[in-house]
Amino acid sequence: MRERSNRAFDGVERGPVWCTVWIMRYIYFCAVLVFTCQPATAAAPTAKLISVKKIGDQAPHCAFTDLAFWKGHFVCAFREGRAHVATDGKIRILSSPDGENWSSSALLALEGFDLRDAGLSVTPDDRLMLIGGAAPRKNEKELVPTGSFIAFSDDGVKWTKPQIVVEPGRWLWRVNWRDGKAYGISYSSFRGASGASYTSLLVSDDGIKYRELVPKLFDEETPTEATVRFDEDGTMYCVQRRDGTPRWKSAMFGASRPPYTEWKWRDLGMHVGGPNFIRLPTGQWIATGRFFHDKKPKTDLAWLDVEKGTIEPILSLPSGGDTSYPGLVWHDGVLWVSYYSSHEGKANVYLAKVSIE
C-alpha cells in the first residue's frame, strides 16, 4: 500500500520533489482559505462637525465639563472660577430642552473648597448625581490635596448640599453606575514625600459611601484621571490618563470582567487628558479628551477599538490652549459634546454636535 500511494494517477511515479510541491500548494490553499474567511477589520468611523456654540462664558475661567440627557432635557455642569486654579471654584448647572437654548438652573458651592471637574451620572432611582473635586485651597494657585464631593437632585434645579465623600489626598474623579452600584477610580492627588502614585477601583451602593474593590489598580508612573464604562455584556473598560515623563505619558486602556478584580492593560500610545468615552448604538466606542498635535493641545474625538486596545483620533473640535474635559451624549442620532477651550482668548464652555458614520 505504501508503494501504491507513491504512484501518480497518470502512472508517473511520484518522487520526494513532487510530494513537496503538492504539500506546499496545499498549505498555500489552506492559508488563503483561512484569510478569506476571516471577518473584515472594522473600519474607523468618520466624524463630521455639524455645529459648535459657546454656552458658558460668564466667569473669567469656565472649564471642566460634563453633559447628560435626563428626564427629557440636557444638563451641562462645569466649573466657574477666577482662574484655572483659584479659591473660588463653583459648579454651574445649565439646562436645555433642545440643546440650543440654555439657561442656568443652579450654582453649587462649598465654603472653604475649590470645587472643580464636574461629573454627571443618573442613579438607579433616577436622580441626577454630581461628583467633583474638592480642594481646600486657602490661597490663589496654591497646590493642595484634592478630595471628592457629591450632590443629588430630583429636578436639576434644587440640589442637596455638596458633601465630601473622599477626603483630600485621594480624588475619585468620575463614577458610572451598573446593576445598582457606582464604580469609579480614585488617584493620588497629592503624593507628598513618599512619591507614591496609584489608582484604586472604588464601588458604592448609594454613591455616598465607597469601599475599595481593587486597592491598587494601576501604579505605573503617574496615573491620574480615569473614566470607566460598561459594555452590554458587563465588561468594564477604563481609559486611564498618565502624567509621567514622555515615555510614560501615554494613556492606558484597561478591561475587566465581573467581579472586576482582574485587569488587562494596554498602552494607547498617546496622551489623553480629561478622558471620556461612550458606546454608540452601532457598538463602536468614541473617546475624547485632550490630545496633542505637534505639541499643541486640541480637544479631539477618537475611535477607541476595545478589542485591540487602540485609539485613533478622527476629528479635532475648535479648540486650543487650555482645553479638554468633555462630556458626551448620544441623542437623536447625533453625538453631543460639551468641552472647554481658551482658543478665543479665555476659557469658555462650548457645545458641539457631531455626526458619526
Nearest to 162 by CA among 200, 195, 230, 116: 116
Tens of pLDDT, residue by residue over 61-94, are: 999 999 999 999 999 999 999 999 999 999 999 9
**How far, in Å, are 39, 146, 307 from residue 42 at the CA level?**
9, 41, 11
CA 155, 157, 159: angle at the middle one, nearest 5?
90
Same domain, residue pair 9 and 122: no
Residue 14 in any domain: the answer is yes
Same domain, residue pair 33 and 91: no
DSSP string, 67-120: EEEETTEEEEEEEEESSSS-S--EEEEEEESSSSS-EEEEEE--TT-EEEEEEE
Residue 42 in any domain: the answer is no
Nearest to 264 by CA among 230, 229, 237, 304: 237
Residue 276 in any domain: the answer is yes
What type of residue sits at position 210? Y
Domain assignment of residue 178, given as a range: 47-356
Same domain, residue pair 11 and 127: no
Same domain, residue pair 28 and 103: no
Same domain, residue pair 87 and 153: yes
Indicate the pTM of the whole model: 0.88
Mean pLDDT score of the chain: 89
CB burial of residue 320 (10 Å; 0-12, 13-18, 19+): middle
DSSP string, 226-263: EEEEE-TTS-EEEEEEE-SSGGG-S-EEEEE-TT--S-
Whether the CB-CB separation of 253 and 241 falls below 8 Å is answered with: no
Same domain, residue pair 23 and 56: no
pLDDT on residue 192: 55
Per-10-residue mean pLDDT of the chain, 357 residues long, equals 32 41 44 37 86 98 98 98 97 98 98 98 98 96 95 98 98 98 95 73 98 97 96 98 86 98 98 98 97 96 98 98 98 98 98 97
Same domain, residue pair 25 and 169: no
